[in-house]
Amino acid sequence: MTTTLRTPAQSPAAAAVAPSSTTTRSLLTVAVVAQPLWAVVALTQAATRQGYDITRHPLSALSNGSLGWIQITNFVLAGVLTVIGAEGLRRVLRGTPGGTWAPRLVRISGIGMIAAGAFVMDPADGFPVGAPEGMPAALSWQSYAHFAAGSVTFTALIAACYVLGHHFGRAGMRKHAVGSRVAGTALLLGNGWAMSGGRAGTLTLAVGVITAMVWIATIANRYRRSL
């Protein structure tokens, strides 16, 4: 007599969990890549573009000049990826303290980045090469739109970090709670110093923005690895 071994049929619940987990992991991978990608591309340009000085020019200024399309694309692509990646955070944080607003705020920051790419600030302070020194006597509406988009992005990132601080604090994860609040504060102070006209304010803003971006990616990676 021949005995045939059969693999037990997978339950409907188990069949549903695997694809869902795979999709969520993919979305979180996008969140891990999105904003650090923006930082790497922006900093590479900052180090190589003629006439650019990060202590004088914001990273947004890289959208100007013959190579400005690179930073414009960088803004739009990173923004789209951030919006997509926020869905992964929504899935893993759902039902937890801060689990509703943290992903929403990350998504809003992505939308702000897309708008910042669509609207380019005016050439200023000698960049790109050939631009007049100092700020223009009058700003274009595109420049105002860019600054508004930047404000939305920064505010959303700061708030997202503080909401994540609340989330981890309630979960008893002290290190993550502190890290979240430090990241949010770095951007808050960096942006505040830049807005006040402080010395090398564009540098402090860049440090703050990148710190917050990298922290969001770090949190996304933490949840991605746990799936």
Token couple for 16 = 């549903």
Between CA 37 and CA 77 the distance in angstroms is 9
DSSP letter (8 states) at residue 124: B
Altogether, the residues listed in the chain come to a count of: 227
Averaged pLDDT score across all residues of the chain:
92
For the cut 60, the answer to whether the pLDDT of residue 17 exceeds it is no
For the cut 70, the answer to whether the pLDDT of residue 13 exceeds it is no
For the cut 60, the answer to whether the pLDDT of residue 19 exceeds it is no
pLDDT in tens, 62-112: 999 999 999 999 999 999 999 999 999 999 999 999 999 999 999 999 999
Query: Are the C-beta atoms of residues 205 and 193 closer than 8 Å to each other?
Result: yes
CA 185 to chain centre: 15
pLDDT in tens, 143-181: 999 999 999 999 999 999 999 999 999 999 999 999 999
pLDDT in tens, 32-64: 999 999 999 999 999 999 999 999 999 999 999
Q: What is the pLDDT of residue 11?
A: 37
Percent of the chain with pLDDT over 90: 88
Residue type, 151: S
Radius of gyration of the chain (CA): 21
Q: How far is CA 26 from CA 17, 94, 106, 150, in A?
A: 14, 17, 17, 28
Query: Are the C-beta atoms of residues 105 and 163 closer than 8 Å to each other?
Result: yes
pLDDT in tens, 182-200: 999 999 999 999 999 999 9
Q: What is the pLDDT of residue 4?
A: 42
